[in-house]
Amino acid sequence: MTQHGIFHWNELMTRDAEGAKTFYGKSLGWTYEQFPMAEGGIYWVCMSDGQPAGGIFDMSGPEFEGIPPNWFSYIAVDDVDARAEAAKQNGGELMRDLFDIPGVGRIAILSDPTGAAIGLITPEPKN
């Protein structure tokens, strides 16, 4: 299992995935692999020397109105349900219901008491 409490994954949330892929590809040498999303669309996994380095998420849809492009981070936790509940008890606020991504893990998106958004993830075990 991924170590509890450390940053686990970063993804670029953008309205121009193709432009971002071009920029990071030319600047860092990243290549990309497609990962189809259950709700439609493509999530791009950024690869560096054959290893996953992050992701690119296309922020299309009205639920993203007013959100500027940004890099979003996820912290690995031992039990996302329990840690999300602890966050709520300590002034955090869930921004959406917890959800599962098959092959990836269970995720909570919340804001801390300062208003900063963060993701918590209990990754699925790697085989």
pLDDT, tens digit, 9 for 90 and up, residues 46-68: 999 999 999 999 998 888 888 89
pLDDT tens per residue across span 60-92 = 888 888 889 999 999 999 999 999 999 999 999
Considering the domain architecture, whether residues 113 and 89 belong to the same structural domain is answered as yes
Containing domain of residue 22, as a range? 10-71
For residue 5, being part of any structural domain is answered with no
**H or E element in which residue 10 lies:** strand 7-14
Considering the domain architecture, whether residues 19 and 52 belong to the same structural domain is answered as yes
Nearest to 7 by CA among 110, 83, 119, 127: 119
Position 125 confidence tier, pLDDT thresholds 50, 70, 90: confident
Domains held by the chain: number: 2
pLDDT of residue 1: 60
Considering the domain architecture, whether residues 15 and 51 belong to the same structural domain is answered as yes
Nearest to 42 by CA among 30, 32, 52: 32
